[in-house]
Chain A
Amino acid sequence: MKEIKMLSPTGAIGYSPMWEKSLYEGLEKGVDFIGADGGSPDSGPFYLGAEAPYGTREAFKHDMKHMLLGALRYKIPLILGGVGGIGSNRQVEWTLDIIREISKEENLPRFRAAVIYANIGKEYLKKRLLSGETIKPLGAPKNLTVEDVERSKVIVAQMGIEPFMQALDKDVDVIVAGRACDDAIFAALPIKRGFDPGLVWHCSKIIECACATCVPHNIADSVIGTIGDDWFTIEAAGSDRVASVDSVAAHTMYERSHPWKSAVPGGHSDLKDCVYEQINERTVKVTGSKFIKDDVYTIKLEAVAWVGYRTLGIVGLRDPRLIADIDNFLAEGVEKVKRAYRNKIPEGKYNILFHVYGKNGVMGKLEPQDKITSHELCLITEVVADTQQIATEICSFFDHEMLFHPYKGIISTAGNFAHLNSCEVHEVEGVYEFTMDHLLPISDPIELTELFPIKIVEIGKGNLKEVE
C-alpha cells in the first residue's frame, strides 16, 4: 500500500526554539520530508512592514540548524515557506544568510537549494487594475484600488503548491520559499506523487502548526502526518504528547472563519463528512476529506502600509475618585494637548489614543461591560505621529500635564499616576496597517511561474553559488 510521511517540527520557524528531541525521534521513524513555515500576518502587519523576523535570530538559527542537519543526514527534502517572518524577498535573503552561516559552522555537505520569491510588483498590480479588472477582497472591506497599491510598503502573495512542485522537479535538497500558503508547503510533494488532494490538504492543514494539534498543545514540538490511499493519520513524533480525536478535530477548525470549509490557492477543502477515529492511544485516523477545485484559480495578496511612529506612556491608577472620573479625565487631557500644540503641531500630524486596562483595554468597542469593577486601572497612552519626536513630545506632555490635573473631587495632590519606571514614555515599534487581503485571479498557470520566480543555488562550506 502506498504511503507518504511528512514531519512538521514547528508552527513557526524560530518563534520559540523547537524541541529537537522529537524532531530526531520522528526522523528515526522514517519520514519522506520535513516541512515548516516561518510565520504569517496572524501576528499583525508589523512583521511584513518592517520585514523583521518573527522571533530572535538565535531561535531562528537553532531551528534552521536542526532541520538542515536532520534533512541532510536522512537524505530527505526540507521544504520551507514564509521564511524569515512572513517571507518577503528581504526575509528570504536574511534566511539564506543564516543558512550559509550554519553550513560553515556545521561543515554541512554541499547541497542544492531552490529559492522561491513571493514579492509582487506594484506596477504589475496597477496595470491589472487600470485595465479595468476587479480584484476582490477576502476579508478586507472593499475591492483593491490603485491607491491601496501605491501606499503599500511591501506586497507579497501566498504561493500555492505549483511553485513548490516546479522546484521539486529541479532535483533540490532544500526549498527556501517566500510567502506561501502554510498548507501548500506540505501539500506539494504528496500531490505531486499522486495522493488524493482532499486527504493531502486536510492533513497539511492539521500538521502545519506542529503539535498544536496534540495534547499537551505545543507549536514547537514535531508532529507526523501519514497519508495513505483513502485515509491519513496524525501522531506526535515524540513520546511526550498524543493526538486525540478531540485535539485533531478542534485544530481542524482553528483560526479560520468556517469549521469545515478551508480555502487554499486553487480550491477549498470540504471537511463536513470527515470521520475522526482514535486508532491507538497516540494516533488519530481521518477519512472522508474532500477537495473542490475553484473555477478560477486565485492567490491571496497581502500587503501593509506605514502609518506612523509610536510612543507609549504606561501608568497605574489607584485613587477611587480618579477611577470614577476616568472618562472626563482623559477627555480633558486631550483638550489640554490640543490647546498647547494648536500653533505648533497641526492636529492631523498626531493621534492620541488610550488603552484603559481594568475598563475596556482588551476588548475596546466590543466590551459589553460598562461599569468599572476593578480597584485599579492601567492607563496606556499611545501617541502615533509623523515623526518619533512629535510622538514622544505629545506623550510626554500628556503625562506631565495630567500628573497633577485637578479631576473632579481631587484630594490627592501629590500625583495622579503610579509610574512603573523613571522613564515615563517609551518609544516602541511603529504602526503599520493592512492594505491588502485580496484574491488575485490567475488565468494562465504561466503567470504563476512569473509571479513566483525560482533560483537554484548550491550551498556548502559557507558559500552560496547561484547555478540556475
Chain B
Amino acid sequence: MTNITEFVRVLRSKNAGPYRITLDLIFKDEETYNKIKKSGAITKELIAKLYRIPIKDIYEFVWYRQGCALKSTIKRPIPSGSMGEADVYAAQQHAPLYNIEIPEEKGI
C-alpha cells in the first residue's frame, strides 16, 4: 500500500456555501491523476467510509482532468457558524483523506 500523500500536491477542504463542505484532492501531474482515477481505488463509497456518512450525504464526486483533481462535496452536519459548529470555513475537515491508501498493483 502507498499512502495518498505520495500522489497528491493538495488535500484540502472548504465551504461550498453554508451547508456543504467540498473536498479537493489535486494530483501531482496528469499521469498520476490518470493512474489513480483508472485504479478505482478512490470511490464515493470510500469517502462515505472515511467520514462515516451515508452515501446520500455525498452531493458530488467528480474527476476533473484539467485540474488533475478529484472533487467531492458532502453535507455539513451543522451549517457554518450555527450553534455548536466549530469550523466556520470548513478548512480543517480534510484530515480523514490522509488515511487513503492506494494498493500497489493499482497505483504507480
Given contacts A250-B26, A362-B87, contact A257 B16 (CB under 8 A): yes
Question: Which residues of the other chain, B, contact A271 by a CB distance below 8 angstroms?
Answer: 66
- How far apart are B65's CB and chain A's nearest CB, in angstroms? 9
Residues of B contacting A41 in the complex (Cβ-Cβ under 8 angstroms) = 18, 80
Q: Does A281 contact B (CB under 8 A)?
A: no
Q: Are A253 and B24 in contact (CB under 8 A)?
A: yes
User: What is the CA–CA distance of A253 and B16 in the complex, to the nearest angstrom?
Assistant: 10
Top 10 closest pairs, chain A to chain B, by CB: A44-B81, A259-B64, A139-B19, A139-B17, A249-B67, A365-B77, A44-B88, A257-B73, A433-B82, A257-B16
Interface residues of A in 290-339 (CB under 8 A from B): 307-308
Which residues does chain B contribute within 8 Å of A364, judged by CB atoms?
77-78, 84-86
Report the bound CA distance from A44 to B77 in whole Å: 15
Closest to B21 in A: A366
| A341 beta carbon closer than 8 Å to chain B | no
- A432/B81 in contact, CB under 8 A: yes
23 CB < 8 A contacts A-B: A42-B80, A44-B80, A45-B18, A139-B17, A139-B19, A249-B68, A250-B24, A254-B14, A257-B59, A258-B73, A260-B64, A271-B66, A308-B83, A351-B83, A364-B78, A364-B84, A365-B77, A366-B53, A431-B81, A433-B79, A434-B79, A434-B82, A437-B17
For residue A274, CB closer than 8 A to chain B, the reply is yes
User: Which residue of chain B has the shortest Cβ distance to A44 in the bound complex?
Assistant: B81
CA–CA, A145 to B67, complex, Å? 39
Interface residues of A, Cβ cutoff 8 Å to B = 41-46, 138-141, 246, 249-250, 252-260, 271-272, 274-276, 307-308, 351, 353, 355, 361-366, 368, 382, 384, 431-434, 437
> Given the complex of chains A and B, what is the CA–CA distance between A285 and B82 in angstroms?
41
Inter-chain contacts of B14 with A (CB < 8 A): 254-255
Contact B81 A363 (CB under 8 A): no
B88 and A368 within 8 A (CB) = no
Q: From B88, which residue of chain A is reached at the shortest CB distance? A: A44
Q: How far is the CA of A308 from the CA of B82 in the complex (A)?
A: 11
Q: Which of B34-42, B90-98, B100-108 contacts A (4 or more CB under 8 A)?
A: B90-98
Contacts A139-B17, A256-B16, A258-B62; is A434 near B80 (CB within 8 Å)? yes
Q: Is there contact, CB below 8 Å, between A259 and B81?
A: no
| Nearest CB of A to B12, in Å | 9
Instruction: Judge whether B55 is part of the interface by a CB distance below 8 angstroms.
Output: no
Contact partner of B69 (CB less than 8 A), chosen from A44, A138, A253, A365, is A253
Q: Give the shortest distance, in Å, between B29 (CB) and chain A (any CB).
A: 9
For the complex, give the distance between the alpha carbons of A280 and B85 in Å. Answer: 44
Q: Give the residue name and chain of the A residue nearest to B86 (CB).
A: A355
By a CB distance below 8 angstroms, the chain A residues around B60 are 257-258
Per a CB cutoff under 8 Å, which of A44, A252, A384 touches B67? A252
Alpha-carbon distance A43/B17, docked complex (angstroms)? 10
Q: Is the CB of A138 within 8 A of B17?
A: yes
A250-B69 contact, Cβ under 8 Å, with A138-B17, A255-B14, A355-B86: yes
Contact among B16, B50, B82 with A255 in the assembled complex (CB-CB below 8 Å): B16
